[in-house]
Structure 1
Amino acid sequence: MIKMLLIGLSFLVSVSATAQLSPQEPLAPISPHWVLAQKSEISKSQAAAIAQKKHGGKVLSVSREGDVYRVKLLQDSGRVKIVTVAAQK
């Protein structure tokens, strides 16, 4: 009787241990839209290129101010122009 009880208990322990070791549901893959949301900010060099393409001139400096980059351009006329470029794509 005790032998049967021990066999039954050891079976239950092994089954419960196996159930605990079984893999859980795999995590859902990251949505491409979520990845794009993470990478939606542009760099300083991208902001400079955008400003230069639109307004021409030589880039003097680029600084980040909150949600925008402040790009300082030297125009061919010698005039300094300050342009803001959104940091978000």
Structure 2
Amino acid sequence: MQGVAIIDQDKNEVLAGKRDADRLVGGMWEFPGGKIEKGETPQEAAKRELEEEFHDEVKIGPQLGKTVSYEYDFGIVKLTVFLQNC
């Protein structure tokens, strides 16, 4: 799994959502995202996922820091943080 955090520095906001209670790790907060498809960059995947999940077009800016990995019982999640390009 790939998570994406989008940070809007102008508004000092981070985009995140709370998972439905009946889903895996239900009730926990998550960043939007999904798998990077073959031939996609992480930025392209972030843009696509945000359009699919929120029906919203976001301008993806530069990556902030390095991608980090978290291991859970169900698998490994890699988190990449991008700034929003206004």
Shared fold (TM-score, shorter chain, > 0.5): no
Q: Answer 1 or 2: which has greater helix percent.
A: 1
Q: Answer 1 or 2: which has greater strand percent.
A: 2
TMscore range, shorter length: under 0.3
**Higher relative contact order, chain-length normalized (CA < 8 Å, sep 6+):** 2
Q: What is the TM-score when the length of structure 1 is the normalising length? A: 0.21
Q: What is the TM-score when the length of structure 2 is the normalising length? A: 0.21
Larger Cα-atom Rg:
1
